Structure 1
Amino acid sequence: MDTTVDRLNEARDIMESAIAQSMVIYGVTPSVGRIYGVLYFANEPLTLDDIKDQVAMSKASVSNGMRELLETEMVTKVWKKGERKDHFVAEKDFLRNFLNYFMKKLRQERNLIMKAAEQTSPVLKNILETADDPQVQSKAKLDLELIEESQKYLNWTMRLANAMDSGEIFDYFPQKEKNKE
Structure 2
Amino acid sequence: MKENEILERTRTMVIDAIAQNMNLYGITPSAGRLYGLLFFSDKPLTLDEMKEELGMSKTSMSTSVRSLLDLNMVEKVWVKGERKDLYTIKEDWYQCFFDFFTIKWRTAITMNSSAMEKSMANLKELIADPNIPEDIREHALMDIKKLEERIDYYDWQNRLIDSFETKEILNFIPIKDKKE
| TM-score in terms of structure 1 length | 0.91
**2:137 is matched with which residue?**
137
Once the two structures are TM-superposed, the CA of residue 41 in structure 1 deviates from its matched residue by 0.8
Once the two structures are TM-superposed, the CA of residue 10 in structure 1 deviates from its matched residue by 2.1
Instruction: Give the gaps of 5 or more residues in structure 2.
Output: none
Q: SS in structure 1 opposite 2:45?
A: coil
Write the letter of the residue equivalent to 2:25: Y
**2:99 is matched with which residue?**
100
Once the two structures are TM-superposed, the CA of residue 146 in structure 1 deviates from its matched residue by 1.3
Percent identical among aligned pairs is: 36
- In the TM superposition, structure 1's runs of 4+ consecutive aligned residues that sit over 6 Å from their partners are none
**1:25 is matched with which residue?**
24
Instruction: Give the gaps of 5 or more residues in structure 1.
Output: none
Write the letter of the residue equivalent to 1:6: E
C-alpha separation in 1, matches of 2:113 and 2:24: 25
**2:87 is matched with which residue?**
88
Q: SS in structure 2 opposite 1:88?
A: strand
Q: SS in structure 2 opposite 1:174?
A: coil
Would you say 1:169 and 2:165 are equivalent positions? no
**How is 1:25-174 mapped onto 2 (pairs within 5 angstroms)?**
25-130=24-129, 131-174=131-174
Write the letter of the residue equivalent to 2:150: S
Write the letter of the residue equivalent to 1:61: S
Once the two structures are TM-superposed, the CA of residue 102 in structure 1 deviates from its matched residue by 1.1
C-alpha separation in 2, matches of 1:119 and 1:47: 46
C-alpha separation in 1, matches of 2:38 and 2:90: 9
Q: SS in structure 2 opposite 1:57?
A: coil
- The alignment of Structure 1 onto Structure 2 pairs a total of residues equal to 178
Once the two structures are TM-superposed, the CA of residue 121 in structure 1 deviates from its matched residue by 1.9
| TM-score in terms of structure 2 length | 0.91
Once the two structures are TM-superposed, the CA of residue 65 in structure 1 deviates from its matched residue by 0.8
Across the aligned residues of Structure 1 and Structure 2, the Cα RMSD in angstroms comes to 1.8
C-alpha separation in 1, matches of 2:115 and 2:151: 12
C-alpha separation in 2, matches of 1:95 and 1:83: 30
C-alpha separation in 1, matches of 2:10 and 2:35: 16
